[in-house]
Amino acid sequence: MKGWQFSADGQDNSPDYVAFDPSLAHWGVGAVRLFASSNNLIDHNAANNCTTVSFTVFNSNSNTISNNTADYPFSFNVLITDGSSFNTVSNNVFSTADFAGIVIGDPLQATLTLNQYGPAHDNLIQANVDHSDGPTGTERRSGIAPSFVGGLVILNGTYNNTIRNNHVFAAAGNDLVWAQAVPDPNSPIGVATAPPIIHCNVTVSEGGGGVANHNGNVWSANTDNRIDSCITQQ
């Protein structure tokens, strides 16, 4: 898929930050949605103001998202989850996502989706520019911004992902983030909301040598303004 212009695609919904249920009721199509799909190239496209995510990758492997631009999505510009592995996100320019620029994340423990699809792992985020991500004041006041907001976010137990040579700046929360969603039945989104920001709280691992080894996730040679204290200094 090459050379397309996407604008204001998707539908209003309630993102599922606990189980990452891939149904459209939770994650609108946005610009491009991959589900159970492999070996696709998404290249030189532009996405603007999409709902829920500009580019979503569910239960999909060995895909490449490269040389695209995207901005102003609700809620992320890229989401890789639900057992997706060996995908590459490279040489893109992303900005102004409401909550996070690029997210690789697993469902929380004991969810049906984690049991069905398994963990996400071995994804490569390389040589992207990502900036100015974060919720509006209205989103903060309404309690819909998750506590793991940031630029490039590795979430929950996902493992063996590589984040290298990216230029990330001006993100709310921090530019490079390692976090775990905190369930909250009293929250309108099912997990703890920002503020406060909750980062460096990962206690679960699906692989990669465990939490003490950052679940095998590696951050290297990134240019950033602020990173989580639990991430190796770049």
**Per-residue pLDDT tens over the stretch 119-136:** 999 999 999 999 999 999
94 is a domain residue = yes
Count of domains for the chain: 1
232 is a domain residue = no
Give the span between the Cα atoms of 91 and 78, in whole angstroms. 13
Give the span between the Cα atoms of 126 and 21, in whole angstroms. 27
pTM (2 d.p.): 0.98
135 is a domain residue = yes
Q: What is the pLDDT of residues 155-167, one digit of tens each?
A: 999 999 999 999 9
65 is a domain residue = yes
| CA-to-CA separations, 25 to 57, 101, 221, in angstroms, rounded | 16, 21, 38
Give the span between the Cα atoms of 113 and 165, in whole angstroms. 31
Domain that holds residue 209: 5-224
230 is a domain residue = no
160 is a domain residue = yes
172 is a domain residue = yes
69 is a domain residue = yes
Average pLDDT over residues 22-47: 96
